[in-house]
Copies of this chain bind each other. A is one copy, B any other.
């Protein structure tokens, strides 16, 4: 059995917040096993228990890391129940996560993946309660993996991991109807309508984007081209259509929430 080439980077994506002892102890466990690995926080501020939000954030971040990086993504209300802890090897990356759909975008984007259930408890911390697998299961496995332990040693092959529905925009007669899937710290409204979808709707300056009662003509090239008093749109840095106010908070101005519909109409 060949050794996995050792990894330099472990990333963490959780809903643990940064006020408690959770993240610190996860890092302590990792560094106790591999003090030379670089740990990167993607974010720990996922809305509590929101698997869908975590899935989107992981999707928007992991491809920017070097191949071989280990991504630990834990939003895990089912911790300690019969939900399985997984290790997935896909597209040159490793993912450690509970089997609850947090890897749904990964499975969609990389159909060929290898999946292992973390059944080999010799790689876990001696049990102390059953409520913190990030520290007791995922952290030590990530650290041993970063030291080159082959993935097959962590457990048995696993199939049919859980996925959550990833809402896709719907085509109607003369429009494309999507929805807001994420709101960032600036209040920008990120939709599930991609650059590709937009390109199929027609020339950008002839598109009309409708959200609630508001209507925007054309798509801005950059934020500074938008208005401070009315919504504008942009194809943003993650390749999604986004509604924004220049130097303002679109979510507040439009009273918008995740799930609100957004329609793109050509001429």
User: Which A residues between 11 and 62 are near B, CB-CB below 8 angstroms?
Assistant: 11, 13, 16-25, 27-29, 31-32, 35, 38-46, 48-49, 57, 60-62
Query: Across the interface, which residues of B come within 8 angstroms of A32, CB to CB?
Result: 64-66
By a CB distance below 8 angstroms, the chain B residues around A13 are 24
Q: Report yes or no: A61 in contact with B24, Cβ–Cβ below 8 A.
A: yes
Number of chain A residues close to chain B: CB under 8 A: 71
In the bound complex, residues from chain B placing their C-beta under 8 Å from that of A238 are 21
| A100-130 contact mask (Cβ, 8 Å, vs B): 1 or 0 | 0000000000000000000000000000111
For A237, list chain B residues within 8 Å (CB): 128-129, 131-132, 135-136
A186–B31 contact, CB under 8 A? no
Bound-state CA distance A38–B40 (Å) is: 11
B129:A246 contact, CB within 8 angstroms: no
Tell me whether B29 and A64 are in contact (CB under 8 A). Answer: yes
A73 → B minimal CB distance (Å):
11
- Supposing A8-B35, A43-B24, A129-B239 touch, asked if A185 and B17 sit within 8 A by C-beta, the answer is yes
Cβ-based interface call for A78 (8 A): yes
Contact (Cβ within 8 A) B21 A81: no
Closest to A53 in B: B19
Q: In the complex, are the beta carbons of B236 and A129 less than 8 A apart?
A: yes
Contact: B223 with A20, CB < 8 Å?
no
Contact A223-B131, Cβ < 8 Å, known A24-B40, A43-B20, A238-B21: yes
Pairwise interchain contact B235-A61, C-beta atoms closer than 8 A = no
Partner pick for A45 among B18, B64, B69, CB 8 A cutoff: B18
Are A185 and B16 in contact (CB-based, < 8 A)?
Answer: yes
Q: How far is the CB of A221 from chain B (nearest CB, A)?
A: 6
**In the bound complex, how far is the Cα of B221 from the Cα of A97, in angstroms?**
21
